[in-house]
Structure 1
Amino acid sequence: MEIHTPGTLKLPVSVLTIGALGGIHRGHQALLLKAKERAEKLGVPFVVYTFDPPPKVFLKGCRQLMSVEEKLQRLEMLGANHVIVGPFDEDFTKQEVPDFIAELQEMNPVEIWEGPNFLFGKNRKGTIEVLRRYFKVEVLQPLTCEKGEIISSTRVRKLWQEGNYTQAKKLLGEEYFTSFVAEIPYALKV
């Protein structure tokens, strides 16, 4: 897996997914594995564009679920060929939608895979509909748990705050990964 900074990756063709991927929970895993499957079927590189820190950590001071190093390790385990890590900072929040589109065009994505609530660009003006003006965009519906609730990083954070480490680990899909946030009390580590 190759790691890149924004604006440095140029490819003749790719399958791309973009997202904060704050915890790479089971919902993220489903999206990533679908994009990887499509890239393999089409015989093109699988590219993940993510951010450090995740936007909610920068903008709202939310708890960071994993370090960028752990995120990269998990993305490699999930089969990403290229990962772009954009620094989510004050400058990035000012990036206009056309500038981000131009960067994506350098990777020539034949497909972009996203969740239904994907937004991008300054003031979150970029939507899936905007992205579809330039690219073929596929949307994977959110994954839900057995209780029917959507799996999200926000939900994992809430479970964590409540001390429900077992359920948080379940939503993170820890059966696929050997490590977890180091702060879990030792007795709860499996």
Structure 2
Amino acid sequence: MGLNFSGSHTQIVGDRQIQLDASIVTIGAFDGVHRGHQTLIRRAVAEARSTGVACVVWTFDPAPKVFFGRAAPLSTLTDKIARLARLGPDYIVVACFNKTYCTRSPEDFITDLSRLSPLTVHVGDDFRFGCRQAGDVTLLGQHFNVALADPVLCDGGQVVSSTRIRGLRADGHLAQAKDLQGALGFDALLAGRLMADDTRFKEETHV
């Protein structure tokens, strides 16, 4: 069973807790849920609404770069889920990224994804998956209909990315970093419910 919060229709589930007859899926670390992430997710939500199936956002906790010590997190899991839920998906799948998960093969991930019966999988063109990032969008496209998102650019022409936001924060450009993250509101009710029940949330999703 997943968690469902008042004020939002979005259900939060672990990666082994869901099976669907049809869906539209988008996958990513979504650290910070910045403007690029928001564009990708909104496209997935729009397609799901137009086709009458569920929209699933598949994410990881912690983000792979954070797990491997290559970056500091831009947001807590609570913040990320609250921001993702504001975009309107039906489900948020939280996969526990740990020592076991990161050794799984690309084929294992494809098997997990198949349980959602995705009509389309929305990802960025640099999306990688499986042990040592052996899986890419070409392999994903051999199993599913894949829609690749074009990069979202800021006013200066640079790609909006979690890495760029980290750099801006480190250099003290907090206003610019906030702008790239977008004005997506923080759902205080949802966040409060998550924080108050954080132990149960971890137990239910990290299986």
TM-score by length of 1: 0.91
Match of 1:171 in 2: 180
- Summarize deviations over 1:48-89 as a string: whole Å, max 9, x none: 110111111111241111111111111110001101111111
Which residue among 89, 99, 102 is the counterpart of 2:108? Answer: 99
Aligned to 2:17: 8
Q: Which residue of 2 is the match for residue 70 of structure 1?
A: 79
Rounded to whole Å, the distance in 1 between the matches of 2:33 and 2:55 is 16
Amino acid at match of 1:167: Q
Amino acid at match of 2:132: N
Partner of 1:56: 65
2:117 to 108, 112, 115: 108
Question: What secondary structure sits across from 1:21 in the alignment?
Answer: coil
Question: Could you tell me whether the CA contact under 8 Å between 2:12 and 2:92 is conserved in 1?
Answer: yes
Q: 3-state DSSP class of the match of 2:158? A: coil
2:57 is paired with a residue whose SS is: strand
SS at match of 1:27: helix
Alignment of 1:7-26 (within 5 A): 7-26=16-35
Q: For 1:35-54, what aligned pairs fall within 5 Å after superposition? A: 35-54=44-63
Residue 37 of structure 2 aligns to which amino acid in structure 1? H
Aligned to 2:190: none
Tell me the distance in 1 between the aligned counterparts of 2:123 and 2:79: 22
Structure 1: which amino acid aligns with 2:25?
Answer: L
Q: Gapped runs of 5+ residues in structure 1?
A: 180-190
On the 8 A contact 2:79/2:186 being kept in 1, the answer is no
- 1:176 CA displacement: 2.3
Distance in 2 (CA, whole Å) between partners of 1:34 and 1:157 is 25
Structure 2 residue 119 is matched with structure 1 residue 146: no
Identity rate of aligned residues, in percent?
A: 36
Deviations 1:26-51 (A, max 9, x none): 00000000111111111110001101
Return the letter of the residue paired with 2:82.
Q
Unaligned runs of 5+ in 2: 1-9, 188-207
Tell me how far apart the structure 2 counterparts of residues 95 and 22 of structure 1 sit (CA, whole Å). 22
Runs of 4 or more off by more than 3 Å in structure 1?
none
Q: CA deviation at 1:138?
A: 0.4
RMSD: 1.1
Question: Who is 1:132 aligned against?
Answer: 141
Mapped to 1, the partners of 2:144 and 2:64 lie a distance apart of 24
